[in-house]
């Protein structure tokens, strides 16, 4: 299978430096930026009741070795420095990160037909 992706799927050094600015002083920072810019990135926004907490459970622990089977990191990651997925750790972080990756007109909000069944 061949996949063709546009330039928008490759994160720029500037974007990654901003996104991971809290880690700039860490020894693994340069390797993290190199890894994150080595291939395509799919950015998305999840919303709903407890989305951050539930998302973090689905992702697994930051260290893949500590992640349970059935989580994304538990099933698909080996090395902490080459983590396959990132998830915001708070609503505040999510708002900051969303504003880095998306313009307001790129976000789509809608009410699912199942909304009234769930909430």
Q: Which residues are catalytic?
A: 86
Both structure tokens of 60: 């697994």
Distance linking the first and last C-alpha atoms of the chain: 40
Residue 8 and residue 27: Cα distance in Å, rounded? Answer: 28
Other Cβ atoms within 10 Å of 43 Cβ, number: 16
Residue 73 and residue 84: Cα distance in Å, rounded? Answer: 7
48: left (phi over 0), alpha (psi -120 to 50) or beta: left
């Amino acid at each position: 299978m061949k996949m063709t992706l546009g330039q928008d799927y490759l994160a720029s050094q500037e974007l990654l430096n901003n996104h991971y600015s809290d880690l700039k002083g860490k020894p693994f920072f340069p390797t993290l930026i190199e890894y994150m810019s080595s291939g395509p990135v799919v950015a998305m926004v999840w919303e709903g009741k407890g989305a951050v907490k539930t998302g973090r459970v689905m992702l697994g622990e930051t260290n893949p070795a500590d992640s349970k089977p059935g989580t994304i990191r538990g099933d698909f990651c080996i090395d902490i420095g080459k983590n396959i997925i990132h998830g915001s750790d708070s609503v505040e972080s999510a708002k900051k990160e969303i504003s880095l990756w998306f313009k307001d007109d790129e976000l789509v909000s809608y009410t699912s037909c199942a909304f009234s069944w769930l909430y």
